[in-house]
Amino acid sequence: MQRTAVVTGGGTGIGKAVARELVEADFQVLIVGRRPAPLAEVAAELGSSVDTLALDVADPIALAAAEFPERVDVLVNSAGGNTDIGRERAPDGDLIGLRDSWLANLTANLLSAMLTTERLRPSLAEDGRVITIGSIAAQYGAAGYGAAKAGVEAWNAELAFTLGAAGITANVVSPGLTEDTEFFRGRLSEQRRATLIGRTANKRAGLSVDVAAVVGFLASPASRHVTGQVLHVNGGAHLGG
C-alpha cells in the first residue's frame, strides 16, 4: 500500500523540500498552506504524487472541517515562522502590543502544530510518524518565537508518550539559519547573516534540503526507535543535548 504524508507549510521553503523528499521516497503527499498559488506551483513541479489543501492550520474550525486522507503515515508540521518579522515592534510599556506579538508566535508555531496533530491523530497509521519543525531559537530566545519553539519541544516530549504505544514516533527537527526559504521575508541583513554563519562549526548556512534529509530519515521505517527527540540541523551553531 502506498504511504501517505501530510506536510503543512509544504508550499515553500523547508516544507517544499520535505514534500520533494517524501515524493522521492514514494509517498503520496498532501501539502497544506494558506496561499493556493505556491501550493499549485509545487504540485505542478512534483507531479501527481502531490495533492494540495489551502487551509490555515492555526484555525481550529477550518481544521475540523477540512478533508484529509483517511490514513496518514507521516505528518510533518512545518507551517510556522517568526511573526515578528516585518511587524512593528511594540513600544516599551505597550503590554497589549507585546501580548499580541507573543500570541501571534505561539499560535503560528505551537498551537498550529498541536491542533493539526490532534485533528489527524485518529487517522495516524500504526507505526506512523509525527515530525515537527522547531528552531534553534528555542535555545537562544527571540522573544515569543523562541518561546513558541521551546513549547514545541515540551509538547513533543509528551506526545511521544501519548502516541508511543501505537508504535507512532514524535520528533522535532530543529534547524538553524536555513536559506532558500521565505522565513526572513527578504529582511536578513548581510551582517546578521555573517554573524549566524560565524556561529556554525562548518561556516555555512543551511539549506532546506539539509533539513528535509533528516525529516526523510525520521519518516523511514529505520527510525522506529527514535522518539521524543530534538534533532538539530544547524552546522554546530547549537550543540544539542
Ligand X SMILES: NC(=O)c1ccc[n+]([C@@H]2O[C@H](COP(=O)([O-])OP(=O)(O)OC[C@H]3O[C@@H](n4cnc5c(N)ncnc54)[C@H](OP(=O)(O)O)[C@@H]3O)[C@@H](O)[C@H]2O)c1
By the criterion CB under 6 A, which residues form the site for ligand X?
8-9, 11-15, 32-35, 38, 56-58, 78-81, 108-109, 112, 133, 135, 175, 177-178, 181-183
Q: What is the C-alpha to C-alpha distance for residues 235 and 173, in angstroms, rounded to an integer?
A: 13
What is the nearest approach in angstroms of ligand X to the Cβ of residue 154? 16
Residue nearest to ligand X (CB): 13
142 contact partners, CB below 8 Å, separation of at least 6: 82, 84, 135
Nearer to ligand X, 56 or 100 (CB): 56
Residues forming the active site: 145
Cell numbers placing 235: 552546522
What is the nearest approach in angstroms of ligand X to the Cβ of residue 93? 28
Say how far residue 176 (Cα) sits from the centre of its chain.
13
Nearer to ligand X, 14 or 147 (CB): 14
Nearer to ligand X, 36 or 164 (CB): 36
Q: What is the C-alpha to C-alpha distance for residues 24 and 27, in angstroms, rounded to an integer?
A: 7
What is the nearest approach in angstroms of ligand X to the Cβ of residue 82? 7
What is the nearest approach in angstroms of ligand X to the Cβ of residue 78? 5
Nearer to ligand X, 7 or 160 (CB): 7
Nearer to ligand X, 15 or 128 (CB): 15
What is the nearest approach in angstroms of ligand X to the Cβ of residue 2? 24
